[in-house]
Structure 1
Amino acid sequence: MELAGKLWEYHHMNHTMRPADCIFALGSHDLRVADRATELYLEGLAPLVIFSGGLGNVTRGIWTETEADQFAGIAIRKGVPESAILVENKSTNTGENILFTQQLLKEKNLDPRTFIVVQKPYMERRSFATFKKHWPDKELLVTSPQLSLLEYPNEEIPMERVINIMVGDLQRIRIYPAKGFQVHQDIPDNIWNAYEMLVDLGFSSHLVKE
């Protein structure tokens, strides 16, 4: 858990929230992301909420309604007006979330300059790096459900899986810039050492072949 805690902290961007042109929530199986996006809207931090996500690798097997549509439903039930919501419900990964949302905004003749990106806690940094690769001229803050590592796991995503995903995401942060998927992010030696120790302990199910 000490090693996992180091990765958890590294994956967080620790941005301080401030007003922006829009809130951009990236879809997934974790409905708490929609709760966080809704919370930010109701606090008055942006006039527009974009929910992006079709059915991905995880949700394709458990849901029939797209991630973005479910997220939008949560927001509306909690008090966000439909007129303040845009839905992009075809994307299946973070890169597509961004590219398909770019297309949607262009169709709507909208050009927000500042974004609050809402994602799962362990995907904050990778979302930041992906966004800056595909949308370098925009300003962004990244946030996630305000939960600790011990609070985050639930029946759908137990602790073992959370750690496996964090390990896999750190590997992607290291190798994806060379593939053109993300901008570079520095990885301190102590974080990479924790990664290697977790891999040695068997947390390797989310790794990709290099």
Structure 2
Amino acid sequence: MSISSETLQLAQRIWDYHHVNHELQPADCIMVLGSHDLRVAERGAELWLQDYAPWLLFAGGLGRLTLGLWQETEAEKFAQVARQMGVPAEKILTESRSTNTGENVALSYQLLQQQQIKVNRFILVQKPYMERRTLATFEKQWPGPKTEILVTSPQIDFNNYPNQDVSMEEVISIMLGDLQRIQIYPEKGFQTYQAIPSEVWEAYEKLVAQGFTSHLISE
């Protein structure tokens, strides 16, 4: 499928919206949310190696994109990446039962409680186009005391993000699915409200009309 420059410009608008552009500060724990993208694990390990936090927590069982693709859970796969990059095993925590972002949050809270690790500030690591949705979900679903949340992702621009595992068409479709969820999930109680600028929603509607609908859900 050939993608026009106009389509890429519309998609770039949505990609930029999904980024929350937080300035990172030292934290109590780096929490990496599971996915199919090992670059997310690498970003989390890099931050630990740069002394941003004493603990590195990987959360994720087998989700929609990894079930049937991997034998290991997302958390276990990510932890292996971190160990290979030099993070000591004793500084890594894994939560391997969750299948979605909300479960990532709730089950990670249980794990930290069990380990008696108090967290006043988190650095959350996700895919670039899931930064805002991760923030909104965490703000709503975190069951403990109010915690400061900083969100980051692999430092890769939109044009260079697709690789052998995910095509540009798939990236655009996933981004639209995440934007749709940002719009409808607050009413369902899953996420906090996030304002969506009119030009971003206009780009969404144009891309949906072009057929990038494979990751949309029935409202």
User: With structure 2 as the length reference, what TM-score do the two structures score?
Assistant: 0.94
2:24 corresponds to which residue?
17
> Which residue does the alignment assign to 1:56?
63
Residue 36 of structure 1, CA deviation: 0.1
CA deviation after TM superposition for structure 1 residue 108, in Å = 1.1
Q: Give the alignment of 1:45-194 within 5 angstroms.
A: 45-135=52-142, 137-194=146-203
SS in 1 for 2:81: helix
Letter in 1 for 2:185: Y
**Following TM superposition, where does structure 1 have runs of at least 4 consecutive aligned residues deviating by more than 3 angstroms?**
none
In the alignment, structure 2 segments of 5+ residues that lack a partner are 1-7
- The alignment of Structure 1 onto Structure 2 pairs a total of residues equal to 210
CA RMSD, Structure 1 to Structure 2 (Å): 0.8
TM-score (structure 1 length as normaliser) = 0.98
Deviation at 1:57, TM superposition (A): 1.3
- Per the TM alignment, residue 129 of structure 1 is displaced from its structure 2 partner at its CA by 0.2
CA deviations 1:146-199 (Å, max 9, x no partner) are: 000111001211000000011111010000000000000000000010001111
Structure-1 residue corresponding to 2:34: 27
CA distance in 2, matches of 1:127, 1:108: 23
Q: For residues 60 and 19 of structure 2, what CA distance do their matches in structure 1 show?
A: 21
Unaligned runs of 5+ in 1: none
